[in-house]
Structure 1
Amino acid sequence: MIGHSEAIAQNYPSRSIRIIVPFTAGGGNDVLGRTVAQKLQEAWGQPVVVENKPGAGGNIGADLVAKSPADGYTLLIAANNILSINPTLNDGTPFDPLKDFAPISLVGTIPVLLAVPSTLPVKSVKELISLAKSDPEKLTFGSAGYGTPQHLSGDLFASMAGVKMQHVPYRGASPMITDLISGQVQLAFGAINTMLPLVKDRKLRAVAVTSDKRLPYLQDVPTVSEDLPGFETDIWIALVAPAGTPRDVVVKINEEVRRIFTLPDVRERLAAQGIEPKTSTPDDLTALVKSDLARWAKVIKDTGEKSKQ
């Protein structure tokens, strides 16, 4: 006889699946969510629908999934801010990242780019720090939202550089980039897939990347850590389900997701947008969430971000 969970997994999916993307359309979370949805639908022959539910730094969409039936038919694309930043930064976070979700797999990582408008006379981290020190608190930096890795990248940068900058959060990358190009904000930390096309069009200037090494496709752009040793931030994105989802269903989704991200057409399409496909086991994802919760809690404490609320 087969167990109850295994029997459920054998018949899964028998109807349409929802993938909640808790950010606006067009960003890296959305791209990865739609990639997974398309390929799951092709593999399983059931509709897989993406729904964008932005707001509260991703918490609105995440809470919807946390409170959904644990049957594998409602899934969440969860960026690391949802699982490892928001719970520390926001006392009102309505879910526990370790208790309310069943991790399935990582789906990708996205480097963070520090960029300025092409009209701003800044071409390096040193020049940016000098500008910030010459006129304290005048510089504003944009991010795709409060509590995102991009936001905390700016806070960490200011703290390590000994400068003051005013944070301007947006509801997603698109409105932030519009204001950055026009100079409404003087700099931004953003996901490279949304910023790179505008760098190539010379509307933005790439100053540095926040990864620990230069990127193979941007060898002429230095890392922030070359001027601020020890500086490193990143964005990772995962797929999770509500806690209590049958283990065999989680494993079935995990196996299919890992297959999807080995497909050459998927890897090429994502690489062209600066997104690195990256998968994991459910247990490895749990370990990553735990380690990142501790890592970002230290950054939030060291930068005093929580006291600014």
Structure 2
Amino acid sequence: MKLNHRAWAIAACVFATATAVQAQPQDFPNKPIHIVVPLPPGGSNDVLARVLGQKMAEAFGQPVVVDNKPGAAGNIATEFMSRVEADGYTIAVAPNQTVAVNPVLYPKLPFDVQRDLQGISMMGRVPMVLVVSSKVSATSVADLITQAKAAPDKFTYASAGAGSPQHMAAEVFKSMTGTRLTQIPYKGSAPALVDVLGGTVDVMFCPINSALPHIRSGKIRALGTTGTQRLEALLPGVPTIAETVPNYESDIWIGMVAPAKTPQPIIAKLNAELRRSLALPDVRAKLAEQGIYAETSTPAEFSALIASDQKRWAAVIKAANIVPE
């Protein structure tokens, strides 16, 4: 059987395309990588992106650019990621708010996290701490629970808005302790903390890196941390909330995701590099200074965590009748 010139051309084109697709994972990366951050510069998500981006650039020999795309509680960045080319050159920082809470909080999002994205790896956890203003007399978690039960709805708590880690931590606390606290939502964690410092708001579940300087100065009081283990290095003597409220846990976790159709060899290469970087003593120390505890996983483990946390927060949102702002 003879092929004419046109058939040969088509065959050659198909072969070249197939070869390029097959070669892509081996050649990756051969151009700059972009890391999308769904929140403004300066926070834990941004710190992780920049610290790890520098290590990735050194290892891969290619620039790594951090693109902050804040807005709509992180939904703008997540929608962007659901539409970008699945080639590994655009990846994103993924805190639990954007990939586990928002998908079950907002009823009509133009993306589906489990369909459109896939996990690369966990990167770290940011414990929160339950703090009270200097105007609140409670000196322990048990004290606060007792006072809150004696005066339902008297105590106010600050959050960074519906579905934020501060909000969800408070709702879990309320549910598990049978207390009634009144939410005062803000557009971000920083203004929320300002009003707790000023005594306008009584209580806050605050990321530890933001709260620590003010705890040390005595402007606010730490009652308990939200993780499963005490943070003796940062908050010596401060118990976990779980020591008073068994099984309580509500940390912020942060990972990395890519578009769902990104080739698995590229996902594996990115995962290996993140795990290598996060094991470096200088990286772990730098992150710990910011209250970020390095943690890694396989891609499958991180995707499974996203799915299981969506179920967890869907139940909390339904029970507390939480609606988007």
Alignment TM-score > 0.5, same fold: yes
Q: Distance in 2 between matches of 1:85 and 1:129?
A: 26
How big is the shift at 1:57?
2.1
- The answer on whether the counterparts of 2:134 and 2:199 sit within 8 Å (CA) in structure 1 is no
Q: Secondary structure at the match of 2:319?
A: helix
Amino acid of the structure 2 residue aligned with 1:18: H
1:257 and 2:274 equivalent?
yes
**For 1:139-173, what per-residue CA distance to the aligned partner results, in whole angstroms no more than 9, with x for missing partners?**
22122332123211101112222222222333332
- The answer on whether the counterparts of 1:28 and 1:191 sit within 8 Å (CA) in structure 2 is no
- The answer on whether the counterparts of 1:139 and 1:165 sit within 8 Å (CA) in structure 2 is yes
How big is the shift at 1:50?
1.4
Query: Alignment RMSD, CA only?
Result: 2.1
Q: Distance in 2 between matches of 1:48 and 1:250?
A: 16
Amino acid of the structure 1 residue aligned with 2:278: F
Ranges of 4+ aligned residues in structure 1 off by more than 4 Å: 1-6
- The answer on whether the counterparts of 1:5 and 1:248 sit within 8 Å (CA) in structure 2 is no
After superposition, the Cα gap between the structure-2 partners of 1:64 and 1:168, relative to the gap in structure 1 and judged at 3 Å, is farther
Amino acid of the structure 1 residue aligned with 2:158: G
- The answer on whether the counterparts of 1:21 and 1:77 sit within 8 Å (CA) in structure 2 is yes
How big is the shift at 1:71?
1.6
- The answer for the alignment partner of 1:17 in structure 2 is 33
1:148 and 2:171 equivalent?
no
- The answer for the alignment partner of 1:182 in structure 2 is 198
1:98 and 2:114 equivalent?
yes
**For 1:10-67, what per-residue CA distance to the aligned partner results, in whole angstroms no more than 9, with x for missing partners?**
2222222221111122221111111121111222232212122222221111111111
After superposition, the Cα gap between the structure-2 partners of 1:300 and 1:3, relative to the gap in structure 1 and judged at 3 Å, is farther
- The answer on whether the counterparts of 1:106 and 1:237 sit within 8 Å (CA) in structure 2 is yes
Which of 176, 186, 199 is matched with 1:160 structurally?
176
- The answer for the alignment partner of 1:278 in structure 2 is 295
Q: Distance in 1 between matches of 2:158 and 2:53?
A: 30
Amino acid of the structure 2 residue aligned with 1:283: A
- The answer for the alignment partner of 1:205 in structure 2 is 221
Which of 265, 268, 273 is matched with 2:285 structurally?
268
Which of 202, 211, 221 is matched with 2:238 structurally?
221
- The answer for the alignment partner of 2:92 in structure 1 is 76
- The answer on whether the counterparts of 2:226 and 2:241 sit within 8 Å (CA) in structure 1 is yes
- The answer on whether the counterparts of 1:115 and 1:205 sit within 8 Å (CA) in structure 2 is yes
Amino acid of the structure 1 residue aligned with 2:271: N
- The answer for the alignment partner of 1:113 in structure 2 is 129
Unaligned 5+ residue runs, structure 2? 1-14
Q: Distance in 1 between matches of 2:210 and 2:311?
A: 28
Larger gyration radius, structure 1 or structure 2: 2
- The answer on whether the counterparts of 1:105 and 1:238 sit within 8 Å (CA) in structure 2 is yes
Unaligned 5+ residue runs, structure 1? none
Bigger mean CA offset, 65-74 vs 4-13: 4-13
Amino acid of the structure 1 residue aligned with 2:263: P
- The answer for the alignment partner of 1:37 in structure 2 is 53
- The answer on whether the counterparts of 2:36 and 2:91 sit within 8 Å (CA) in structure 1 is yes
After superposition, the Cα gap between the structure-2 partners of 1:221 and 1:6, relative to the gap in structure 1 and judged at 3 Å, is farther
Identity fraction in percent: 44
Q: Secondary structure at the match of 1:142?
A: strand
- The answer for the alignment partner of 2:7 in structure 1 is none
Which of 79, 83, 87 is matched with 1:67 structurally?
83
- The answer for the alignment partner of 1:137 in structure 2 is 153
Q: Distance in 1 between matches of 2:22 and 2:237?
A: 52
How big is the shift at 1:123?
1.4
